[in-house]
Amino acid sequence: MSKAIRIHAHGGPEVLTYEDADPGRPGSGQILVRHTAIGLNFIDVYHRSGLYPPPGGFPLIPGSEAAGVVQEVGEGVDWLKPGDRIAYSTNVGAYAEQRVIAAGLVVKIPEGISDEQAAAMMLKGMTAEYLLRRTFKVKAGDTILFHAAAGGVGLILGQWAKHLGATVIGTASSTDKIELAKAHGFDHVINYKEQDFVAGVAAITGGKKCDVVYDSVGNDTFPASLDCLKPLGMFVSFGQSSGPIPPFSMSLLAQKGSLFVTRPTLFVYNAKREDLDASAAALFEVVLSGAVKIQINQRYALKDAAKAHADLEGRRTTGTTILIPLVRRACYPLNFR
């Protein structure tokens, strides 16, 4: 019997239970996938805790990205066949050894990219893609600030932004994380526990500040992030790991320089098939070129998802983390934590 992680009620990591889960057979337009690697992301924590309402209610199989091998195709799917390697980023359902998924949500993994790399980068990498290339089109000479520089999105976005010619400033909470971020494209990294990041940005830029701030932290970095922006700069809030941003008066944006604010999500940006294909293609291209390297810093067995969540929330992880279904666990006997 195939296994999966299910949630039956909101709560801490302990609500993640490892259970039997029959994936069923693919219907029209669907495929059956055997997962080989599954990505871990903060949105999984939000679904588990109740910060984001769980799509479809309970019981819920969380997980927003994975890679695997097609086992069976349903009626009407003529561009995939059993044995094809695929990857995807979607709302929920990835924490499983096998699943049925709409074929329109997946992309083929090109030669040169491993299943683990694909699972580790689909959500985070395509998030970096839309942030840098569509939400705010970063170009050579721009100065950007990215909070949580040593996180999964940060380590990809830092490299990609540097490749585009930007000056890349980040924030992080420890010396180790600062060094990690600097090794992944960040020109400057501010330890926000030891230094006020607004003052740090002012010093780094000579008072000119940033063209854009990318913020997935939320409550703890707002409204200070606005003080890091040039007039007409853009504040991009794409997550809330420290809690949601409190309500604020729109006049605050006028007072701080006629600023722009947006709250984008990957699933809106890639809702159309052509946008998904273009985003994935851009990501695969920049990784295959060597400009962006995907580093997997932690691996856990799928059955140990609760431990992975606890470590993620406790800031004991850096960069990218993946979950490995039991069928592949023996491949990495020394790397689990």
The two three-digit tokens of residue 288, written as one number: 């295959």
Question: Of 127, 116, 21, which is closest to residue 322 (Cα–Cα)?
Answer: 116
Contact indicator for 291, 300 with CB cutoff of 8 Å: no
SS3 210: strand
How confident is the model at residue 128, as a pLDDT?
97
Q: CA-CA distance, 220 to 270, in Å (whole number)?
A: 28
SS3 165: coil
Question: Of 125, 64, 89, which is closest to residue 320 (Cα–Cα)?
Answer: 125
For 191-243, write each residue's pLDDT tens digit: 999 999 999 999 999 999 999 999 999 899 999 999 999 999 999 999 888 88
26 has pLDDT over 80: yes
How confident is the model at residue 54, as a pLDDT?
80
SS3 134: helix
C-alpha torsion sign, points 37, 43, 48, 52 = negative
* pTM (2 d.p.): 0.89
For 46-95, write each residue's pLDDT tens digit: 999 998 888 888 999 999 999 999 999 999 999 999 999 999 999 899 99
Q: How many CB atoms lie under 10 A from the CB of residue 75?
A: 10
For 157-204, write each residue's pLDDT tens digit: 999 999 999 999 999 989 999 999 999 999 999 999 999 999 999 999
How confident is the model at residue 327, as a pLDDT?
60
5 has pLDDT over 90: yes
DSSP label of 75: T
Average pLDDT, rounded, for the chain: 94
Q: Return the higher-pLDDT residue of 301 and 316.
A: 301
Q: Return the higher-pLDDT residue of 306 and 43.
A: 306
Place of tokens 């853009």: 234
Question: Of 53, 49, 112, 102, which is closest to residue 79 (Cα–Cα)?
Answer: 102
Q: CA-CA distance, 21 to 24, in Å (whole number)?
A: 9
335 has pLDDT over 50: no
Q: CA-CA distance, 166 to 253, in Å (whole number)?
A: 24
How confident is the model at residue 317, as a pLDDT?
87
Say if strands 30-39 and 98-102 run parallel, antiparallel, or are unpaired.
Answer: antiparallel
